[in-house]
Structure 1
C-alpha cells in the first residue's frame, strides 16, 4: 500500500522494534511484524499484533517490570 505518512513510499512486510512506555516502565519488543514503508520507515501493525503487544506490556507491568527488552511472541 502507499504510505499514508510520507505519501511517496510503498509498504512491505518486515520486522521492527517497538518501544512502549508508561509511568516509568519501558518495554522494548524486537522482531515485531508489520508493514514498513520503504521511503520513511514508518511501520503499521495489524490489530492482532497490536493486541498482542499491549497484552504482553500489561503482563510486564503487572509483574513490576521497570525496563525490559524481549523478542515479540505473536501467540503470547
Structure 2
C-alpha cells in the first residue's frame, strides 16, 4: 500500500468513526498503548540517545504513575 493510499484509507476510517478514536483504544491502558502501539510506530525515527532518553523518562517518571491509567480516562 502506498503512502497516499494509506492516507486515503485513514481519512475514510476517521470519517466512518465520526472523528472519534477507535473503540479498542478505550479498552487499553496508557502503558499498553506506549509499549504496543506508540513505540513500534515511532522508534524507527529515533536516534539511540533519543530512544534511551525516552525509555528513561517513561520508566522512572511517567509509567510509575500512568502505566495502569485507561486511555478513556
Q: Does TM, normalized by the shorter one, top 0.5? A: no
TM-score normalised to structure 2 length:
0.30
Greater strand share, structure number: 1
- Higher share in helix: 2
